[in-house]
Amino acid sequence: MRGTGLIRELDAAGFRAVLDQLAAVYAAAMRPQPDQLPGRRVNMDRHAGYPGFRALTVAADPGGPVIAFSYGFRGAAGQWWHDVVSTGIRAAWGAPLAAAWMDYTMEIAEVHVHPAHQGRGIGRAMLGTLTAGRAERTAVLSTMDADTPARRLYRGLGFTDLLTRYVFPGDSPPYAVMGAVLPLRDVRGLPPSAADRPPWPGSAARSGSAAGSASAARTGTAAGAPGAA
Ligand SMILES: CC(C)(COP(=O)(O)OP(=O)(O)OC[C@H]1O[C@@H](n2cnc3c(N)ncnc32)[C@H](O)[C@@H]1OP(=O)(O)O)[C@@H](O)C(=O)NCCC(=O)NCCS
């Protein structure tokens, strides 16, 4: 485990040791059905064994409880999400573009900030630190295909829609698969005074139309080849 102050990087063992705290942050941030939590924990435990695993936690006070976390790893054939998304991008955009985005990629698996601490720059700072210095060419993730704070955060960091209205096997709600060329743009460090900055009063005042195209299933909107710009 390394890192000082509020943000810490965890190795796989350190990550597994605080799974209870991470699950609590996840539950507060995402409000899943309670019966979904055990499966999520199993996934997180498995992900900790993937190559290139990197995890971060944030505490409001040094030594205090975890209020936010994020992690990712190297995407590789044989991983469920990687295989499903690669197939989807290949179907929508063709094999060369799928390879350009997915063959050497960091998969951002989770980014969550406890609601009491959202809107203070923590999510952006975690993604900046999580992806800093990575060797992979791209970063990819999936998120609900809607105008959410998460979608706005990702767009602000340079993520573009690779797939929209994407339904994962098992009949999920529509997701957007997003990708960015590394390094991310407009990353900022964790503000030392994050705890002093008042949270935004609510999403209503910041609402907009950051959602991707809501047209046909699996339509992509901006999947240019990474690095081609
Ligand atoms: C999405 C989430 C991780 C963002 O973390 P955060 O610390 O609250 O966000 P930040 O303060 O770093 O804000 C970064 C950007 O996110 C967007 N954003 C954050 N909160 C927002 C809100 N309430 N309304 C609209 N946009 C918002 C903005 O684009 C913001 O950039 P800006 O400050 O330049 O305007 C956090 O809100 C969260 O945990 N949400 C619930 C769980 C979730 O959706 N996780 C992601 C699953 S894919």
Element (H, E) at 102: helix 95-102
pLDDT grade for 63, boundaries at 50, 70 and 90: confident
Report the length, in residues, of the chain. Answer: 229
pLDDT tens string 149-185: 999 999 999 999 999 999 999 978 999 999 999 999 9
Whether this model's pTM surpasses 0.95: no
The listed CATH number (3.10.300.10, 3.40.640.10, 3.10.290.10, 3.40.630.30) that belongs to domain 6-207: 3.40.630.30
Residue 134 has a pLDDT of 97
Residue 189 has a pLDDT of 74
| 90 C-beta closer than 6 A to ligand 1 | no
| 150 C-beta closer than 6 A to ligand 1 | yes
Residue 219 has a pLDDT of 39
Q: What percent of the chain has pLDDT over 70?
A: 80
Is residue 154 annotated as part of the catalytic site, yes or no?
Answer: yes
Phi/psi of residue 140, nearest 5 degrees? -135, 155
Q: Where are the domains of the chain?
A: 6-207
pLDDT grade for 206, boundaries at 50, 70 and 90: very low
Task: For residue 191, give the 3-state DSSP assignment.
Answer: coil
